[in-house]
Structure 1
Amino acid sequence: MGKQWWTAVGVNLLLGIPGVVPVWLLWYLAVNWPLAALGWTEREATENDGVLPWLVIAAPVVLVFALLWWLTNRALRRRRTAPAFRLYWPVCALATLLPSFALMIAL
């Protein structure tokens, strides 16, 4: 399982590089609409078009990335012996989010 495990982590790290875009879009939507409505954040002053334009942009990007991630990991999962819900999926999700976390820390 050794080499096979690292290939899954490596593939998810590579998927995380373009995955920065959907993570940023989801963060932007959350900060400007639900969290701002709850009073946890302040809304961007120039963001007055409503949520529909961002959903038209963000929804396809996030859905395409999620589908690509799921199909890739489903194909990789078939060759792994790690427990799926306890180990494989959480590790792959964290590996995919590592580039986003690295950018958040660096900036």
Structure 2
Amino acid sequence: MPVAVNLLLGVPAVVPAFLVWYYLTNGPLADLGWTRRDPNENDGMLLWLVIVVPVVALFATVWGLANGWMRRRTVPGTPPYPYWTIATVLTLAPTLVAVGLG
């Protein structure tokens, strides 16, 4: 069950992942000279923070609550680190597939 749930949660995770990447490439990474800013992005980065923070916080809350509940029910008594690592990789899999296909 955790595999299917994390893969399904990975589909809407594409949106927060894109928003974080867009903010980083046009903000801090561009300031370091590692990326180039989007020339059409002239509204400033505060607007992006107002959008990115609630979206990422909402997704992280849903993801954390779902995985915390499933971990307690499916693998009691085992160390938590392998579960959370696998859950993270499974959630990021749809985003990585979308990037690979794009």
Give the structure-1-normalised TM-score. Answer: 0.90
Alignment of 1:96 onto 2:91: yes
- Sequence identity (%): 49
Q: How many residues are paired up? A: 100
Structure 1 residue runs of 4+, over 4 Å off? none
Deviations 1:36-69 (A, max 9, x none): 0000010000111111111111111110000000
* Inter-partner Cα distance in structure 2 for 1:59 and 1:38: 22
In the alignment, structure 1 segments of 5+ residues that lack a partner are: 1-6
Deviations 1:54-103 (A, max 9, x none): 11111111100000000000000102324211x10000000000000000
- Tell me the amino acid that sits aligned with residue 20 of structure 1: V
For residue 4 of structure 1, what is the aligned residue in structure 2?
Answer: none
- Tell me the amino acid that sits aligned with residue 13 of structure 1: L
Give the structure-2-normalised TM-score. Answer: 0.94
- Tell me the amino acid that sits aligned with residue 106 of structure 1: L
SS at match of 1:53: helix
* Inter-partner Cα distance in structure 1 for 2:73 and 2:51: 35
For residue 32 of structure 1, what is the aligned residue in structure 2?
Answer: 26
* Inter-partner Cα distance in structure 2 for 1:69 and 1:13: 11
